[in-house]
């Protein structure tokens, strides 16, 4: 049962996140791209998604929004997804996975996996794409990207992963960035801990069940798809991303790690068209072009 305190805190965080994202992009001209609303007919439920139409010469990007598995939706990341589709020329499929506390672990991870499987199996019926996919996401969505790709080790149509400051391990790991940047940006250490605790709903850090959420603890990363991993300096998750980049490199994965030394958590998605956002978009464009040109 969800406590009244948790319900109120969740409502406040969701309201604030939607408002700040809306204000960040207010008055900014957005790319004019064809969009479609979909209901993905998954085995256990129907899941909403928004598709941004791109080119048949590019892979389709499956996108999982951030928000600590508890906040965020298709609208909070709508401007970002428009820009991502415009810059990369990819069709982008933004997934409205279910959120905690109403739907605790492993719901978001199971939704991400089921949606990815359905999209991969139905590429020919979707907006233009070249028959391949890239899985992408920011923060909690970066975690869903990592976890989903780890469950698709032999999928030939999965050509890459784009992970933006992903959550990679439990805060119990006591990473230095959780202390150094506890209050450096919009994502504070206390908020990140609340997100994790709310989603895990009482599961202990050592519980084997959460290997689904943090797969690099024991799951081999050999054979993981080509990856672009972005980290921000002023972010409690900074060391999460660095740790993953090192693990992927040791596993022989084609990994490009780009660290934004002057940015905070949320810079590509939630702050509007800043120089950091523009630099990220140029980076994503070049990386996608390299995959498509192979």
Pick the catalytic residue: 78, 170, 265, 277? 265
Residue 181 a catalytic site member: no
Residue 139 a catalytic site member: yes
Residues in the chain: 294
- The total of other beta-carbon atoms located within 10 Å of residue 138's CB is 30
Pick the catalytic residue: 73, 96, 109, 139? 139
Pick the catalytic residue: 235, 239, 270, 277? 235
Q: Which residues are marked as active site?
A: 139, 235, 265
């Amino acid at each position: 049962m969800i406590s009244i305190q948790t319900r109120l805190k969740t409502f406040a965080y969701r309201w604030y996140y939607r408002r700040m994202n809306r204000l960040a992009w207010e008055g900014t001209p957005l790319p004019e791209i064809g969009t479609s609303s979909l209901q993905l007919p998954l085995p256990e439920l129907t899941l909403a998604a928004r598709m941004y139409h791109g080119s048949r010469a590019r892979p389709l990007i499956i996108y999982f929004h951030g928000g600590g598995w508890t906040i965020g939706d298709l609208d909070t990341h709508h401007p970002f997804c428009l820009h991502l589709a415009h810059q990369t020329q990819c069709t982008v499929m933004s997934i409205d996975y279910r959120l905690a506390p109403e739907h605790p672990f492993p719901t978001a991870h199971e939704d991400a996996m089921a949606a990815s499987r359905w999209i991969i199996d139905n590429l020919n019926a979707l907006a233009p794409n070249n028959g391949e996919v890239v899985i992408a996401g920011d923060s909690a969505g970066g975690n869903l990207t990592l976890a989903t790709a780890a469950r698709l080790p032999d999928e030939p149509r999965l050509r890459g992963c784009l992970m933006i400051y992903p959550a990679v391990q439990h805060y119990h790991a006591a990473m230095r960035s959780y202390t150094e940047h506890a209050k450096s940006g919009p994502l504070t250490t206390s908020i990140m801990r609340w997100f994790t605790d709310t989603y895990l709903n009482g599961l202990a850090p050592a519980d084997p069940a959460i290997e689904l959420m943090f797969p690099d603890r024991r799951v081999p990363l050999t054979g993981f798809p080509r990856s672009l991993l972005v980290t921000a300096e002023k972010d409690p998750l900074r060391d999460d991303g660095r740790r993953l980049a090192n693990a992927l490199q040791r596993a022989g994965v084609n990994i490009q790690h780009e660290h934004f030394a002057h940015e905070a958590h949320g810079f590509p998605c939630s702050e509007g068209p800043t120089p950091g956002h523009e630099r990220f978009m140029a980076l994503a464009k070049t990386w996608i072009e390299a995959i498509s040109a192979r």
